[in-house]
Amino acid sequence: MAKKQQVPSARGIRSSFQSLVALLIACLVVAAIYLRESNDQLFQYWTTQKDPAALLTTSCNLFSGKWVYDNKSYPLYKEKECAFMSDQLACEKFGRKDLNYQFWRWQPHHCDLPRFNATALLERLRNKRLVYVGDSLNRNQWVSMVCLVDSVIPPAFRSMHNNGSINIFKATEYNATIEFYWSPLMVESNSDDPVNHRVADRIVRVQAIKKHARHWTDADFLIFNTYLWWRRRQMKVLWGSFEKPEDGIYKAVKLPRVYEMALQTWAQWLEVHVDRNKTKLFFMSMSPTHQKAMKWGGIRGENCYAETEPVAKDGYVGDGASPRMMSVVDSVLGELKTRGLNVQMINITQLSDYRKEAHPSIYRKHWETVTEEQLANPKNYSDCIHWCLPGVPDVWNELLYAYILQL
């Protein structure tokens, strides 16, 4: 006879259910601890000064601090009075009524950030070139710097010249230029056109940089950035030329490996071609985005649109920047340093992460007609990547200024 199948007792079912619940709770606790530790590690990573000896004192970490509301000494200039303000960044001009984003000052925990002095900077730049090289966020910072010095230069003694990928602001009395060179991926790519660079299938030549570098190698100060355009899982790499693409070899390379390949090419160019006795080198860390309001306790599906205050939580870490990619930068800069070439990292990531309210959102010039559907849901066409001016990039330049003062 077949054995009679045993039916589990109610007590057994309860016991199994309780065990499952206990296991789930344990998993959640472990995950929460892991996430907390990860956030703590990220916060420490973004705020750690890699080369404190380059600052005023070894105890002064300019990147660890808090935002202080200061409507007496900020903003450092007025949007309407900057002759070279960009419509992409002129939030007040395009209808933003809440202007509190202009009045926040970055206060390091254990020291003070030197007050920006445009005349002093121009004296440092006399007969010199300061060049920002990178993407639209570096252009954002370049516009900020132009506006910071613009007010102390009479109109007859300043000029702006655009020539393809390079934009040159000149203070003629000082024979000084503050320039921006469009090179979003640092190496050659099919996104190098300064106007028509939106392409669906992005391609890079990771071993080719001369086309760009010949425009900026002899500068006295070089400020680099490259991150925003690398935000995808993989990138198509071309071994060959864009002039004869049919003869090239193509391969999709995953991140962060392809990013590392491009930075290695950049580093090798610097090592060979830059005059170490003349040129001072800086690399801006990642500028964070604010696309997910849930990260700062907001509503799921919302972003920076309609935000009016910075994140108040000390040590806040969002997901708008990649520590994995930043570690690649650290590694490349570390290798350069061992070979006698110092590139100073300016760590803007953590301090900018607090500023969820400081993006243009919908208050900017729109290059394409805004649809009725977008108007009905403004968050869908909000720019939560770039920054209103005056605003956060002015602090980036204050940090840069602090370093230049020590040279």
Which residues have a catalytic role annotated? 136, 383, 386
Q: Which helix (H) or strand (E) holds 376?
A: helix 372-376
Give the SS3 label for residue 386: coil
Distance CA 76, CA 149 (A): 10
Name the one residue in this structure whose structure tokens are 């108007």. 375
Question: If we measure between CA atoms, which residue out of 131, 93, 72, 107 comes closest to residue 389?
Answer: 93
3-state DSSP helix/strand/coil % of the chain, to nearest 5: 35, 15, 45
Name the one residue in this structure whose structure tokens are 């934009």. 167
Contacts by 14-18, CB closer than 8 A, 24 or more apart: none
DSSP structural state of residue 361: B
Beta-bridge partner residues of 223 = 132, 282
Give the SS3 label for residue 335: helix
- Please report how the helices 323-338 and 257-273 are oriented relative to each other, as an axis angle in degrees rounded to 10: 30
